[in-house]
Amino acid sequence: MNQAAMMQVHVRLPTRLLFSGTALKVFAEAENGSFAMLPKHTDFVTSLLPSVLVVTDASGTELFFGVDQGVLVKSGYQVDVAVRRAVQGDDLHSLNQVIQTTFIAVDEDERVARTALSKLEAGIVRRFSDLRKPLT
């Protein structure tokens, strides 16, 4: 296949590169709806919703990624997807299982961290209010 008929796709997380490869087509979901991109699609930038990103590789195999909110940038034959969280699955069913176990566990950890942060903030406010009291 002609290299000009392919896109170079990168799926990036804050800490690592999850996927890098060539693709015939990319399917994603943005705030204004779902869309598919082919190599000669116009250049653009869009914000992604938590959804399934589907990358069709050079052999026609579909690769499935469960992505959290993020940004997709297409420039020429280069497609960069930057997301906060993402996982790759072999098919839609296994991807659903991975998302359930991974994202829900992370959400629970974030909830615990937010609770701890709220307690720290409340403690700081109490300390500042104690400083404002007159000494007797």
Would 127 be classed as within a structural domain?
no
pLDDT at residue 103 in the model: 67
What's 25's domain CATH number? Answer: 2.60.15.10
Q: What is the pLDDT of residues 66-109, one digit of tens each?
A: 888 899 999 999 999 999 888 888 777 677 767 766 766 666 76
Range of the domain at 38: 3-90
How many Å apart are CA 63 and CA 26, to the nearest integer? 10
Q: Which residue has the tokens 């993020």?
A: 70
Q: Lowest-pLDDT range, 22-36, 51-65, 75-89, 116-130?
A: 116-130
Residue 64 pLDDT: 92
The total domain count for the chain is 1
Distance CA 81, CA 11 (A): 5
User: Residue holding tokens 């297409």?
Assistant: 74
The answer to whether residue 86 sits within a structural domain is: yes
Residue 112 lies inside a defined structural domain of this protein: no
Give this prediction's pTM: 0.70
Average pLDDT of the residues in 126-132: 79
Instruction: Kindly tell me if the per-residue pLDDT of 3 is higher than 80.
Output: no
Amino acid letter, 8: Q
Q: What is the pLDDT of residue 11?
A: 96
Residue 122 falls inside a structural domain: no
The end-to-end CA distance of the chain, in Å, is 85
pLDDT at residue number 1: 53
Indicate the SS3 state at residue 112.
helix
The single-letter code of the amino acid at 80 is D
If we measure between CA atoms, which residue out of 29, 32, 23, 21 comes closest to residue 51? 29
- Nearest in space to 76 (alpha carbons), one of 3, 13, 17: 3
Tell me, yes or no, whether 25 lies in a domain: yes
Counting residues of the chain whose pLDDT is more than 70, the rounded percentage is: 88
Q: Tell me the CA distances in angstroms from 95 to 63, 102, 114, one per residue in order.
A: 10, 10, 27
Residue 33 included in any domain: yes
Ramachandran region, residue 36 (left: φ > 0; alpha: ψ -120 to 50; beta: rest): beta
pLDDT at 10 over 80: yes
Domain assignment present for residue 47? The answer is yes
Please check whether residue 37 lies inside any domain of the structure: yes
